Structure 1
Amino acid sequence: MKMARVILFTGQIDAMSEFYGKVLGLKQVTNEKGWREFAAGGARIALHSGPSSPGRKGPKIVFYAKDVAVVRETLVARGARFGKVRQGEMFCLCDGKDPDGNPIQLSSR
């Protein structure tokens, strides 16, 4: 597997976009309502509209999976904890937790 992105939840998506794009100089590669992604080397930093709670709600580590259902099945068989696979209009995803309870995700996006 390879890491796809880290998601940061923010109530100030414009200010955060300015910071990651103009201040840090990362190239913005996605601009959707409530969702922006910036190229950051081998992975992306994604900004997701929603309440920010640094220190209480950490970033979500997202792993790319071409076939989310197959990868989920393999990882669950190895002892990972994941919820149901959800198919959206443009991509498929599945949320889980690491042993400390940190959010992780499998995504075809």
Structure 2
Amino acid sequence: MPSMKMARVILFTGQIDAMSKFYGQILGLKQVTNEKGWKEFDAGGTRIALHSGPSSPGRKGPKIVFYTRDVAALRQTLVARGASFGQVRQGDIFCLCDGKDPDGNPIQLSDR
């Protein structure tokens, strides 16, 4: 079987400007594609693509997880930029913090 790797996560959105601002300016990801109705951001090993169209996640939609060595510090930086995250949760094995993008898609900061 040929090997494969994840290329991108596509999020359909009716708020492409707000979502672009969130992933680009607030989370600080580099925008690598800027076409009408299609924007891609480099997320370090994969891309997050925003596609114009109605957002209709299922009962439990995708969750995009961003790795960081210091969850609390990154949360503080992103909240200061306008992101919405809950409290940092430190477990025995790893630390994480959940948030949402402007369309309500779950995102997470994690040190694993």
Q: TM-score, normalised by structure 1?
A: 0.51
2:64 paired with 1:61: yes
Percent identity, please: 76
CA distance in 2, matches of 1:24, 1:88: 37
For 2:85, the equivalent position in structure 1 comes to 82
Q: TM-score, normalised by structure 2?
A: 0.50
Q: Matched residue of 1:76: which SS? A: helix
1:104 maps to a residue whose letter is: I
CA distance in 2, matches of 1:88, 1:102: 23
CA distance in 1, matches of 2:65, 2:90: 16
| 1:59 positional shift | 1.1
CA distance in 2, matches of 1:55, 1:70: 31
**Greater share of residues in strand:** 1
- Could you tell me which of 94, 102, 107 is aligned with 1:104? 107
For 1:72, the equivalent position in structure 2 comes to 75
1:84 maps to a residue whose letter is: Q
- What RMSD in Å do the two structures reach over aligned CA positions? 2.2
Long gaps (5+) in structure 2? 5-44, 47-56
Long gaps (5+) in structure 1? 1-22, 27-41, 44-53
CA distance in 1, matches of 2:89, 2:3: 33
CA distance in 2, matches of 1:87, 1:24: 38
